[in-house]
Structure formats: structure tokens, C-alpha cells
């Protein structure tokens, strides 16, 4: 059976169940009143049974016209007794109407209808000479309890239905919220992967491109061989990082917790970046006044990636001959600064993927990053808080 067939079956059931319920209630009201009338042996039951059918038929309209059904039932009971038909109680014929009115959140009208019936019944029974109609404490309590039970049952059914509807709505909202959260996590993961790949591949290709140019222009075979060796080393390191990234992605898909590829490298590995830049002809000075082992892994990894991307940008864009990388802890934050003596960076620092990625890394840790021309060169300054929660 297809999903469309299941849906159609569910809709048909939803349409059929209210009709069956109303029909069952109509038949029950008719039978109960008819049995009470038939138990009275002093009169013909036929006129009363006709009225019983009328009271039952009103139940078929209870969903669409609940207040009308209640009013017609109350006045119908008055008319029934005005014709001197066999006694059936004042509340019994109205049980279905009282229940239906309370079920549709018209409880006050149901209480008012029951009060009118009991008050009128009590008033006329004081003066009625028929022994069957005499007021007794038992009869009064019975009718009062019957009216209260009908109203209470209708209210309970309504509350149960509303609770189910509310639960279904909450479940739907929860599912939608979980779906949005999953999409947000997926987007965040995609951004993280893109950032890592950009930093790794971008840096490697920049270094490889510079050494390839050197190799192409080199006259001395030894210089050419050295440049090509540096290209090989850079691409090999990129392949290793790419394999680490793929491995982590596979482990995350299998449900294995891993700190991620970004945590595999830190400031302790910065020498590889610096040596590659120096081999490309850039005079790089390093001043790290911090022990990387004392830094949180996330901060250490972010600082490394910021230095790596900044040095890569110096090689690609600035035309600088020298650069300085420094890192110091001031208070509760690590300040990383990369400054070069080139002709500056891009005019729009927000447009580049590299600077945007560095800003995102700092922002994820609760820090900030500034990048722009400074004096005769270009400068990147990252403020990274060192009091961050470590992933277990």
C-alpha cells in the first residue's frame, strides 16, 4: 500500500468516526428514553417513543449546532411534560445535549441548561398530585448527579482532545527545531571543512606555485632540483592534511568523536610554515613569547591557521621582502600579530575568503581579528581568549 493510499484511508477514517460517534449517541439516547417510557405500564408507550426518537435525532446535529440542540432539547422536555406523557426525568433526555455543549467549550451554557431543567422540575413537583412525580431527595440528587456527570464528561473529553492536539503541535515544533538545529550543525561543519581545506590547500599551492616559478627560471640544475624538492615537500604535506581531514569526516560519519583536523596542528608546528616562506624568499622573523603546550587546543590550532593564512597572503599578494610574526599573552588573551613590509593587501578585506576564514576562527572562540594596511605594509592582529572550554 502506497503512502497516498494510507493518507486517503486516514482521511476517510477521520470523516467516518465523528458520524459513527454521533449516530451511536443518537441510538443510545433513543433506546434509554424508550426503555424508561416502556417501563411505565399505565400509559401507551407509542407517543413517548416518538419523542424519544426526536430527542435522539437531535444528537446528529450536536457538532454543528450544539447550543441550538441544547435549547431545543430543554424546550422539548417542557413540551413533553405539557402533553402529560409518561415521566422520563428532566435531565435524562438532555444528557446528550449537556455532554455535547460542554465538549465544545460551552460549559457555562451546559450548566445553565441543567440548572433550568432541575429548577423547573423541582418547582412543578411540589404541586404535582401524581405520586410518580413527587419530589424525593433520592430523585433530586440523581438528576443533579446525572447532569454534573454529563457536563464533566464532555469537559474531560474536550481537555483530552486539546491536550493531544497541543502535544502533536509541540512534537511538530520540536521536530522542526531539531531539523533546523541539524541543518545549522551541518552548515557549520561545511564551513569548518571549507576553512580547513582553504587554509591547507591554499597555503600549499601558493608555496608550490612560487617554487615552480623559481624552478622554471633557474639556470643552475641544482637550484632547479632544490625548488622542485620544495614543491614535492609542500604537496606531500598537503596530501597528508587532506587525508587527515577525510579520515576525520569518515569517523564523524560513523559516530566516532574526534577533536578534528584543525587540532592536529598548532603553534609548535609553525616552523614548517616559516621555513616554506623563507625558502620562497621571504625574510620571516618569529617572536613567540608563549608556550604552545599551555594553550587550549582550539586556541593553539586557530593561532596556527591564522599565521599560516597570513603568511600565505603575504607570499601571494603583498610583494613583501620581510615579515614579522609575534605571539604574546596579555591578560586572558593571546595576541597574534603578522606584519609585512609589502604594498598592502586587498582593498576590501571582507571580500577575501582567507581573511573571512580567519575572522570566523577568531569569532568562534569569542575573539576578534583585524586586518588592514598599517604604515608601509599590511597587518593582521588576532585577539584570542585563552579561557575557553576544551572539547572532551
Per-residue pLDDT averaged across 148-173, rounded?
90
pLDDT in tens, 63-100: 888 899 999 988 988 888 888 887 787 788 888 899 88
Cα distances from 36 to residues 31, 148, 157, in angstroms, run 9, 20, 27
Indicate if the pLDDT at residue 138 is higher than 50. yes
Confirm if 63 and 100 have CB atoms less than 8 A apart.
yes
User: 186 versus 284: which is more confidently predicted?
Assistant: 284
Class of 267-385 in CATH:
alpha beta
pLDDT the model gives residue 62:
86
User: 219 versus 164: which is more confidently predicted?
Assistant: 164
Confirm if 358 and 309 have CB atoms less than 8 A apart.
yes
Paired sense of beta strands 368-374 and 333-340, if any: unpaired
Would you place residue 392 in the very low, low, confident or very high pLDDT band (cuts 50, 70, 90)?
very low
pLDDT in tens, 335-349: 999 999 887 655 555
pLDDT the model gives residue 209:
67
In the structure grid, which three cell numbers stand for residue 129, read together?
398530585
Q: What is the 3-state secondary structure (H, E, C) of the chain?
A: CCHHHHHHHHHHHHHHHHHHHHHHHHHHHHHHHHHHHHCCCCCCCHHHHHHHHHHHHHHHHCCCCHHHHHHHHHHHHHHHHHCCCCCCCCCHHHHHHHHHHHHCCCHHHHHHHHHHHHHHHHHHHHHCCCHHHCCCHHHHHHHHHHHHHHHHHHHHHHHHHHHHHHHHHHHHHHHHHHHHHHHHHHHHHHHHHHHHHHHHHHHHHHHHHHHHHHHHHCCCHHHHHHHHHHHHHHHHHHHHHHHHHHHHHHHHHCCCCCCCHHHHCCHHHHHHHHHHHHHCCCEEEEEECCCHHHCCHHHHHHHHHHHHHHHHHHHHHHCCCEEEEEEEEECCEEEEEEEECCCCCCCCCCCCHHHHHHHHHHHHCCCEEEEEEECCEEEEEEEEECCCCCCC
pLDDT in tens, 165-198: 899 888 888 888 888 887 777 777 677 777 666 6
Per-residue pLDDT averaged across 126-142, rounded?
56
Residues 6+ apart with CB under 8 A from 273: 203, 304, 307, 308, 311
Instruction: Kindly list the domain boundaries of the chain, sorted by start residue.
Output: 18-135, 267-385
User: 28 versus 6: which is more confidently predicted?
Assistant: 28
Amino acid at each position: 500500500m502506497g503512502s497516498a493510499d494510507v493518507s486517503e484511508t486516514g482521511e476517510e477514517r477521520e470523516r467516518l468516526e465523528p458520524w459513527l460517534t454521533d449516530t451511536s449517541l443518537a441510538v443510545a439516547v433513543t433506546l434509554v428514553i424508550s426503555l424508561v417510557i416502556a417501563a411505565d405500564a399505565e400509559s401507551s408507550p407509542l407517543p413517548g417513543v416518538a419523542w424519544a426518537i426526536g430527542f435522539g435525532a437531535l444528537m446528529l446535529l450536536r457538532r454543528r449546532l450544539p447550543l441550538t440542540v441544547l435549547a431545543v432539547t430543554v424546550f422539548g422536555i417542557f413540551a413533553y411534560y405539557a402533553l402529560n406523557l409518561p415521566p422520563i426525568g428532566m435531565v435524562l433526555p438532555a444528557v446528550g445535549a449537556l455532554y455535547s455543549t460542554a465538549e465544545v467549550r460551552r460549559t457555562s451554557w451546559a450548566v445553565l441548561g441543567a440548572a433550568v431543567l432541575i429548577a423547573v422540575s423541582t418547582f412543578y413537583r411540589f404541586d404535582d398530585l401524581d405520586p410518580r412525580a413527587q419530589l424525593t431527595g433520592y430523585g433530586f440528587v440523581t438528576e443533579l448527579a446525572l447532569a454534573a456527570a454529563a457536563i464533566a464528561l464532555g469537559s474531560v473529553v474536550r481537555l483530552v482532545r486539546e491536550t493531544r492536539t497541543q502535544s502533536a503541535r509541540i512534537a511538530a515544533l520540536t521536530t522542526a527545531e531539531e531539523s533546523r538545529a541539524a541543518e545549522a550543525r551541518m552548515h557549520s561543519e561545511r564551513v569548518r571543512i571549507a576553512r580547513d581545506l582553504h587554509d591547507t590547500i591554499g597555503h600549499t599551492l601558493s608555496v608550490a606555485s612560487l617554487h615552480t616559478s623559481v624552478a622554471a627560471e633557474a639556470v643552475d640544475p641544482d637550484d632547479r632540483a632544490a625548488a622542485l624538492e620544495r614543491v614535492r615537500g609542500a604537496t606531500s604535506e598537503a596530501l597528508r592534511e587532506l587525508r587527515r581531514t577525510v579520515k576525520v569526516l569518515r569517523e564523524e560519519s560513523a559516530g566516532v568523536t574526534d577533536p578534528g583536523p584543525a587540532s592536529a596542528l598548532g603553534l609548535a608546528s609553525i616552523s614548517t610554515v616559516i621555513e616554506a616562506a623563507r625558502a620562497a624568499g621571504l625574510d620571516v622573523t618569529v617572536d613567540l613569547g608563549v608556550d604552545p603546550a599551555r594553550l587550549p587546543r582550539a586556541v593553539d590550532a586557530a593561532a596556527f591557521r591564522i599565521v599560516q593564512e597570513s603568511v600565505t597572503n603575504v607570499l601571494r599578494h603583498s610583494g613583501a621582502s620581510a615579515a614579522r610574526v609575534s605571539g604574546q599573552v596579555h591578560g586572558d588573551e593571546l595576541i597574534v600579530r603578522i606584519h609585512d613590509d609589502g604594498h598592502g593587501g586587498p582593498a576590501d578585506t571582507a571580500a577575501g575568503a582567507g581573511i573571512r576564514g580567519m575572522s570566523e576562527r577568531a569569532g568562534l572562540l569569542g575573539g576578534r581579528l583585524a586586518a588592514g594596511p598599517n604604515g608601509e605594509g599590511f597587518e593582521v592582529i588576532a585577539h584570542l581568549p585563552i579561557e575557553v572550554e576544551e572539547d572532551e
